[in-house]
Structure 1
Amino acid sequence: MRRTVTKLADGRELIYFDERDDVVRDEPDRRELPPPPPASQLRYDPLLDEWVAVAVHRQARTFLPPADQCPLCPSRDDRRSEIPASGYDVVVFENRFPALSQRIADEPPGVTPFTEIRPGLGRCEVVCFTDDHHAAFVDLPPDRVRTVLDALADRTAALAELPGVEQVFCFENRGVEIGVTLHHPHGQIYAFPFVTPRTRTMLAAARRHAERTGGNLYADVLAAERAAGDRVVAENEHWTAYVPAAARWPFEVHLAPHRPVPDIPALTDAERDAFGPLYLDVLRRFDGLFDMPMPYIAAWHQAPVRVDRELAHLHLQLFSIRRAADKLKYLAGTESGMGVFISDVAPERAAQLLREA
Structure 2
Amino acid sequence: MTRLSSTFLADGRELMYFDDAGTAPRDPASLEDHRALPPRAEPGEVRFDALSRDWVAVAAHRQSRTHLPPADQCPICPTTPENPSEIPAPDYDVVVFENRFPSLGPATGKLPEAAGHSGWGHSAPAYGRCEVVSFTPQHTGSFAELSEQRARTVIEAWAQRTDALSALPGIKQVFPFENRGAEIGVTLHHPHGQIYAYPYITPRAEVLASAAAAHFERSGGTETLAASILGAERNDGSRMVLEAEHFSAYVPFAARWPLEIHLVPHRHVPDLAALNGSERDELAAVYLELLKRLDRLYPTPTPYISAWYQAPLEPSLRASGQLHLQLTSPRRAADKLKFLAGSEAAMGAFINDTTPEAVAERLRTVASPALKDTLPEGARA
Band the TM-score falls in, shorter-chain normalisation: over 0.9
**Aligned counterpart in structure 2 of residue 158 of structure 1, from 134, 153, 164:** 164
- Rounded Cα–Cα distance in structure 1 between residues aligned with 2:211 and 2:14: 38
Could you say which residue in structure 2 is the equivalent of 1:316? 325
Q: CA deviation at 1:203?
A: 1.4
Q: Identify the residue that residue 17 of structure 1 maps to in structure 2.
A: 18
1:94 to 87, 95, 98: 98
Counterpart CA distance in 1 for 2:119 and 2:204 is: 26
The structural deviation recorded for 1:24 is: 2.6
- Whether 1:351 and 2:360 are equivalent positions in the alignment is yes
Q: Give the 3-state SS of the residue equivalent to 2:319 in structure 1.
A: helix
Q: Residues 138 and 338 of structure 1: is their aligned pair in 2 closer, same or farther, counting only changes over 3 Å?
A: same
Which of these residues, 90, 103, 106, is aligned with residue 107 of structure 2? 103
Letter in 2 for 1:24: D
**Partners of 1:124 and 1:189 within 8 A in 2:** yes
Q: Is the Cα–Cα contact under 8 Å of residues 4 and 25 in structure 1 kept in the other structure?
A: no
Percent identity over the alignment is 55
- Length-normalised TM-score, structure 1: 0.96
**How far 1:113 sits from its partner (Å)?**
6.0
Q: Of the candidates 186, 190, 193, which is equivalent to residue 192 of structure 2?
A: 186
Compare 283-292 and 208-217 and name the one that shifted more: 208-217
Structure 1 position 32 matched with structure 2 position 33: no
Aligned to 2:259: 251
1:1-357 correspondence runs (5 A)? 1-19=2-20, 20-27=23-30, 28-103=32-107, 114-214=120-220, 215-307=223-315, 308-357=317-366
What's the CA shift string for 1:169-206, capped at 9, x where partnerless? 00000000000000000000000001111111111111
Give the CA deviation at 1:103: 3.4
Asked if structure 2 preserves the Cα contact closer than 8 Å seen for 1:39 and 1:121, the reply is yes
1:324 and 1:333 map into 2 onto residues whose CA distance is 21
CA distance in 2, matches of 1:237, 1:285: 19
Q: How many angstroms apart in 1 are the aligned matches of 2:53 and 2:217?
A: 24
Q: Distance in 2 between matches of 1:153 and 1:33?
A: 30
Alpha-carbon distance in structure 2 between the residues aligned to 1:113 and 1:354? 46
- Match of 2:46, SS state, is strand
2:108–2:170 contact (8 Å) kept in structure 1: no
Give the distance between the partners of 1:253 and 1:25, measured in 2 at CA. Answer: 42
Q: Give the secondary-structure state (helix, strand or coil) at the position aligned to 2:133.
A: strand
State the shift of 1:22 in Å: 2.2
Aligned to 2:375: none
Letter in 2 for 1:273: D
The one-letter code of the counterpart of 1:50 is: D
- State the alpha-carbon separation in 2 of the partners of residues 68 and 79 from structure 1: 7
> Partner amino acid for 1:193?
P
Distance in 2 (CA, whole Å) between partners of 1:14 and 1:296 is 26
**How many Å apart are 1:306 and its aligned residue?**
3.0
CA distance in 1, matches of 2:41, 2:231: 46
Report how many residues are paired: 352
Q: Could you tell me how far apart the structure 2 residues matched to 1:103 and 1:32 are?
A: 22
Tell me the CA shift for residue 72 of structure 1: 0.6
One-letter amino acid matched to 1:11: G
TM-score with structure 2 length normalisation? 0.90
Unaligned runs of 5+ in 2: 112-117, 367-381
| Contact 2:53-2:119 within 8 A present in 1 as well | no
Question: Is the 1:168–1:190 contact (alpha carbons within 8 Å) kept by the matching residues of 2?
Answer: yes
Higher mean Cα deviation, 64-73 or 113-122?
113-122
Query: Letter of the aligned partner of 1:201 in structure 2?
Result: V
Deviation at 1:25, TM superposition (A): 3.7
Counterpart in the other structure of 2:369: none
Contact 1:38 1:104 in 2 (8 A): no
What is the CA-CA distance between 1:356 and the residue it aligns to? 1.2
Query: Does the 8 A contact of 1:301 with 1:317 survive in 2?
Result: yes
Q: What code does the residue aligned with 2:269 have? A: V
